[in-house]
Copies of this chain bind each other. A is one copy, B any other.
Amino acid sequence: MARAISAAENDPPVVQAFLREHSQRLGRARIVGITGPPGAGKSTLTGCLAAELVNRGFSLGLLLVDPSSPFTGGAILGDRLRLPDIAQHPQVFVRSMSSRGSMGGLSKATSDAVKLLDAFGMDFVLIETVGTGQAETDIVSVADSVIVVAVPGLGDDIQALKAGILEIADLFVVNKADREGAEKTERELLHMLKMQPSSSGWTIPVIRTVATKNEGIGELANKLLAHYEFLRESGLLLRQRVARAEQELKDLLRSRMMQEFERLMGPALYRDLAQEIVAGEQSLYDTADKLWQQFLVRITQKGGSASD
């Protein structure tokens, strides 16, 4: 399995071939995203939650998505070492991945790794995203349930969480709840949820945990299972997954089209044309029109390739 998931990063065609063959085995795993600001104790919490789920008899895969930022790499890899012994458990598979997505978000490799863990029969896939930015909100595009981890005492952090991250939570955790200000943080979250309740009919819970003492983890697991049941019974799980498949299909087609385009038109093309555009010799839109017409002529003459 480790080799298969490395392949997701290094040899996508091998993974694609595998997933083509095992498409009927997909869709059984419950996919959980765990996100929040740096310093919230996400790694410890993720480790505890993984242990709790394993103790309840579930198998699981754990993906740690690192931002590729050279500034933060060191500190965050250090964090990883704090992950509990759970990684040693035979029912648990842990893998760190970089988040080198083309749009700054979760990479195709992460999404493929999730599918591999699903195909291998894992009951749960936990994805922990590190750092701030797009990876945190993009977790929605992969996960069935999203846990957003907040902590007391980070000052303006509830404020900082607001844009984008609050909206994606299916469950809130106030971790380090033995710290001063935990009640205040919980109250603020509950207040916000009251102002802007979930439109799906699911009541977003706020769960207090102290991951370092394994406190509150049982309740978190209960709520997580309850959320999955809610998704299944309400039909939302199916709708979310169809929407996800639709998006993946579009993404695949888009990259397939660009591949064919480069194959027929030559890769050096863009740079030359971009120089003409910057020099004011051509407009962007006219250039795009001309390229498209040329592509149509070539594809009609030569035909598309039958496969990759």
Please name the residue on chain B nearest to A135 by beta carbon.
B163
A273 CB-CB contact with B under 8 Å: yes
| Neighbouring B residues of A285 by C-beta, 8 Å | 16, 19-20, 252
What range describes how many residues of A lie at the interface? 35 or more
Q: How far is the CA of A111 from the CA of B14 in the complex (A)?
A: 38
Tell me the dominant secondary structure on chain A's binding face: helix
Q: Known contacts A156-B154, A275-B242; is A164 also within 8 Å of B270 by CB? A: no
Of B133, B270, B293, the contact of A249 (CB 8 Å cutoff):
B270
Q: Nearest-CB distance from A199 to chain B (Å)?
A: 11
A284 partner, pick from B19, B67, B104, beta carbons under 8 A: B19
Choose the segment among A44-52, A80-88, A211-219, A295-303 that binds chain B (4+ C-beta atoms closer than 8 Å): A295-303
Check if A242 sits within 8 Å of B280, measured CB to CB.
Answer: no
Q: Which residues of B contact A192 (CB under 8 A)?
A: 71
One complex includes copies of this chain to the number of 2
Stretch at the interface among A1-9, A22-30, A55-63: A22-30
A197 within 8 A of B: no
A137 to B264, CA, bound (A): 33
> Among the listed B131, B164, B291, which residue makes an inter-chain contact with A164, where contact means beta carbons less than 8 Å apart?
B131
Query: Which residues of chain A from 62 to 82 have a CB within 8 Å of any chain B CB?
Result: 67, 69-72
| Contact across chains for B132 and A132 when beta carbons are under 8 A apart | yes
**Shortest beta-carbon distance, A156 to chain B, in Å?**
6
> Given A23-B282, A253-B291, A162–B274 Cβ distance below 8 Å?
no
In the complex, chain B residues whose CB is within 8 Å of the CB of A241: 278
A277 close to B (CB within 8 Å): yes
Q: Cβ of A25: which chain B residues have Cβ within 8 Å of it? A: 280
Question: Does A200 have its Cβ within 8 Å of any Cβ on chain B?
Answer: no
Which of A202-210, A225-233, A254-262 has 4 or more CB atoms under 8 Å from chain B?
A: A254-262
Q: Which residues of B contact A16 (CB under 8 A)?
A: 285
Residue A98, interface by CB 8 Å: no
**Complexed CA–CA distance, A131 and B167 (Å):** 14
Q: How far is the CA of A86 from the CA of B72 in the complex (A)?
A: 38
The 4 closest A-B pairs by CB, nearest first: A131-B163, A23-B283, A245-B274, A246-B274
